[in-house]
Structure 1
């Protein structure tokens, strides 16, 4: 079993062999959290919306250190969602990349530069402002 992991990737080019992203492969929420963690997202917050909103089951808010990192996180996340079989995620806000929205259906992801995130303070708007995120 471990022997296959040590084999060179020359045999069977059809095997994608990406690193596993989510602990629960059937969970879009877990996939998104894992992807953002892998891409070094900062101040990651997941807000459960089930029963509170019809837009999604979860809202995830995270920060990137720069517009370049925010753009890369959004593009990689959309690609991973598609490859995992969860369909096509819509991305809004890439040209400026100050605030990028990734709509994956049951999970909506907001990626911000830190200054923009503190300005909009979505955690507080959704009534979850008493947490450690954004507390100054």
Structure 2
């Protein structure tokens, strides 16, 4: 995935928690499968949370990504960066403090991000 400017990070813990909750709620509303939230605060400078979830098809992955980006913009005033939307096998949504990876199940199994990033602490959301 190409790199582009990062989304602004927040220093407000309540704002970070609100964004994280918004992400989890949106994915739950859109029937994401096997949603996992990985806390990164103090372990990585890229974000405070990484959320990994699956959709049953490329259409569902793309739909979840677009709806989530719209909600983040409307409710948090941030314009998240989205990569991978044209193929929707793996879509990355960078909302600054929360990084979201949406996969088709086969692609998620192949990359296994939870194992790589969990630090032994991945928890179902």
TM-score, shorter chain, exceeding 0.5: yes
What is the distance in 2 between the residues matched to 1:130 and 1:103? 21
Aligned equivalents of 2:123 and 2:21: distance in 1? 21
Q: Which moved more, 1:69-78 or 1:26-35?
A: 26-35
CA distance in 2, matches of 1:105, 1:122: 18
Structure 2 unpaired stretches of 5+:
1-13
Report deviation, 1:115.
0.1
Number of residue pairs matched by the alignment: 110
Structure 2 match to 1:78: 69
2:38·2:118 contact (CA, 8 Å) conserved in 1? no
Q: CA deviation at 1:86?
A: 3.5
Superposed CA deviations along residues 81-120 of structure 1, whole A, max 9, x for unmatched, are 0000341011000111000000000000000000000000
Larger Rg: 1
* Matches of 1:33 and 1:51, distance apart in 2: 21
8 Å CA contact retained: 1:28, 1:86: no
Structure 1 residues 107, 132: CA separation in 2 closer, same or farther (over 3 Å shift)?
Answer: closer
Unmatched 5+ stretches in structure 1: 1-23
Q: Pick from 31, 35, 47: which aligns with 1:44?
A: 35
1:116 aligned to which of 81, 95, 107: 107
With structure 2 as the length reference, what TM-score do the two structures score? 0.81
Higher relative contact order (CA 8 A, sep 6+): 2
